[in-house]
A and B are shown apart, each in its own frame.
Chain A
Amino acid sequence: MTNMGQTDEIRTQRDDAPIRDEDVDRAFKYEVANQVGGEGLLRCLKCGACSGGCPVGAVTDYRPRKVLGNVLLGLKDLVLSSEDIWMCAACFTCEERCVQEVNFTDIVTILRNMAVKEGHAAEGYLEMAKTVVEHGRVVPMTFAVNKMRDKLDLPPLQEPAMDEIAKIIQASGFDKILALYKGRDRT
């Protein structure tokens, strides 16, 4: 680089700490790439097309490119414990535009699933899941709701199939995941 001004500017903007050997999990990227939707990960060129169109990146320093970069570097603990992976709004814009057909939104799902198993689930989503497990829907059915519906001439809401939900989350192991978070205070 011959343009010293530009180099200095970059250096001061970079907040990355040096990467230590012990932070690197070399199998991490393959672990992600081997899951449904993660196939494109290894094709990432880190060109930044994802970040350039990201609606969250427009208002914060969240960068999909950086998340992908950290996964490719093998920084498993850093990635799975960071808030970054919970900042994706799932608008699929980057996935739609990626020139290398990296399905970033699918990769975020994979990363979040892994993070959840390590105890890093986002509280908000966890609360919604608990509501679904208890009530079958994100918004519990109440008397007030049915009264509002009646006013608009809408039929009363059906009772969700709670027995089926209970069996599904048992068979999928989701009940065990929820148990992991049992008794944890809302922060």
Chain B
Amino acid sequence: MTIAGDQVTYDHLLPSETAMVIGGGVAGMQAALDIADQNYKVVLVEKSPSIGGVMAMLDKTFPTLDCSACILTPRLSEVARHPNIELLTYSEVVGVTGKAGDFRVRVLRKARKVDEEKCSGCGDCVPHCPIEVPNEFDQDLGFRKAIYIGFPQSTPLVYTIDTENCIKCGMCEKSCDRDAILLDAEDEEVEIPVGAIVVATGYELYDVTKYPRLGYGTYKNVMHALEYERIINAAGPTGGHLLRLSDGKIPKSLGFIQCVGARDVEKGVPNCSRICCMYSIKNAVMAFELAHDHVKDVTLYYADLRAFGKGFEEFKEMAKERFGVKFIRGRVGEVSENLKNRNVIVRVEDTESGKFLEKEHELVVISPGILPPKTLKNLSNHMGLTLDSDGFLTVENETITPVDTTVPGIYVCGCAESPKDIPDSVAAGSAAAMRASITLAKGGAP
């Protein structure tokens, strides 16, 4: 209940028995579940209207090609239904005081303008809303209304009205049988006492428009990997049909460009992003899987292939041998467009043969590196945490305390600390949960 004037308090929570997890992606969810399963209370704060993070957007996971949503969805319900987890979605941490065992966290609960208790997620309001805007969850490729859920498994299954685009016409109000619409609701700040905090704020993609030479934003048939994920996702804007954006054609030939916004000293991102090689190989394989009658050529242009995890190297070999993905070692120089058919021409040196190639692809997918979210800097200031030169959170000791931040009682997991794939994020989530519950068990003592 978050109606203005009806101040919600969290006095029922005891700091000695409560932890907060900031960020509801797969790492934060794991941390929340592991803490909650030890009979501590957990307040899980998520910035967007739903938990699930980036994993909810993905089509398949590597190297097993499991359906991402199939793994994640049961977890979403588990978190939502856990008696010890209190979910604060559409909320942001704006201030932290206190110390291990006794923190006070101020959380801004953005007005969702839909009563979380009353909304059943039926969606009756949606056809009545006259406003249509690009859906961020679909990387702006699909559309949503001003009253929306980003995706069908949205958790909690509660609609949100986006204040920026809502014209307050009141149509949703009229269409709602349960009187759940609260058009006049306002943002509200609450203070929550907790004994330990886990930061799991995830990542954002490198802005690939900073590489004009690769044509993103200029050429219609150049997209980035997360857009591709949504395109090939059955719940995405094309219903899982692989097609290119200029004319809706199924591409016969695809090119994947690696190391964009990663390992680039000139662009200020010297670090390896760790996940791009594998997610791109997976995406390359998926092109064959989805449209094997059409797709004839899938080429991946890389600087070095880093297939370091369990089953990764084998997956790469399978992509090469069984699916016929072509691997060309060479950082792409530039791309241009064939004006006649809107195909994308990739200029690259195959550094293994020394050949200069001009390869025409019907679709090119750029694989951006990952960065800490821009908001992490602010959040770390609130908490007195420090950031590394790459912008990710600093940990006490990378070798023996890899989830301990520099502030006692505050832990970190997932990509807030460094780029990680899903298994590593989950493992870090469990680790941070254990460290946080030790803090709680010891009443804040280190």
Contact = CB atoms under 8 A, between A and B. Distances in A.
Interface of A: 2-3, 9-10, 13-14, 43, 45-54, 57-58, 61, 63, 65-66, 97-101
10 contacts: A45-B303, A46-B351, A47-B351, A48-B329, A51-B351, A52-B334, A58-B356, A63-B356, A65-B349, A100-B265
B340 interface: no
B38 to A, nearest CB: 46
A163 to B, nearest CB: 44
B320 A3 contact: yes
Contacts of B320: 2-3
Nearest to B351: A48
A10 B353 contact: yes
A97 B213 contact: yes
Contact of B334 (A48, A53, A98, A99): A53
A101 B303 contact: no
A2 B320 CA distance: 9
Contact of B349 (A9, A63, A97): A63
B334 A65 contact: no
B321 interface: yes
B113 to A, nearest CB: 46
Nearest to B353: A13
Interface of B: 213, 259, 263-267, 303, 317, 320-321, 329-334, 347-356, 358
Contact of A98 (B266, B332, B358): B266
Contacts of A100: 265-266
Given A3-B320, A53-B213, A58-B356, A47 B264 contact: no
B317 A52 contact: no
Given A47-B330, A49-B330, 6 more contacts: A10-B352, A47-B351, A48-B329, A63-B349, A63-B356, A100-B265
Contact of B354 (A43, A58, A66, A97): A66
B277 to A, nearest CB: 14
A13 B265 contact: no
B352 A57 contact: no
Nearest 6 interchain pairs by C-beta: A52-B333, A53-B333, A51-B349, A49-B331, A48-B330, A48-B349
A51 B356 contact: yes
Contacts of A50: 333
B330 A14 contact: no
A133 to B, nearest CB: 38
Contacts of A43: 265
Given A3-B321, A97-B266, A48 B348 contact: yes
A63 B331 CA distance: 13
B39 to A, nearest CB: 50
B266 A2 contact: no
A81 B354 CA distance: 21
Contacts of A65: 349, 351
A63 B350 CA distance: 11
Contact of A99 (B259, B347, B354, B355): B259
Nearest to A66: B354
A14 B334 CA distance: 24
A99 B331 contact: yes
A3 B355 CA distance: 18
Which one of A43, A48, A58, A61 has the highest number of Cβ atoms from chain B below 10 Å of its Cβ?
A48
A45 B329 CA distance: 12
B331 A48 contact: yes
A167 B330 CA distance: 48
A51 B354 CA distance: 9
Given A99-B259, A99-B331, A57 B264 contact: no
A14 B349 contact: no
B424 to A, nearest CB: 25
A30 B358 CA distance: 35
A63 to B, nearest CB: 6
A68 to B, nearest CB: 11
B353 A47 contact: no
B266 A101 contact: yes
A50 B264 CA distance: 13
B257 to A, nearest CB: 11
B71 to A, nearest CB: 31
Nearest to B328: A48
Nearest to B354: A63
Contact of A49 (B317, B333, B354): B333
A48 B330 CA distance: 5
Contacts of B352: 10
Contacts of A14: 353-354
Contacts of B350: 48
A10 B329 CA distance: 12
Nearest to A9: B353
Contacts of B213: 53, 97
Contacts of A63: 349, 354, 356
A65 B266 CA distance: 17
A50 B349 CA distance: 9
Nearest to A12: B353
Contacts of A2: 317, 320-321
Contacts of B356: 51-52, 54, 57-58, 61, 63
A52 B303 contact: no
Contacts of B333: 48-54, 97
Contacts of A101: 265-266
Contacts of B263: 99
Contacts of A45: 303
A3 to B, nearest CB: 6
Contacts of B264: 99
B266 A99 contact: yes
A95 B348 CA distance: 16
Given A52-B349, A99-B265, A13 B355 contact: yes
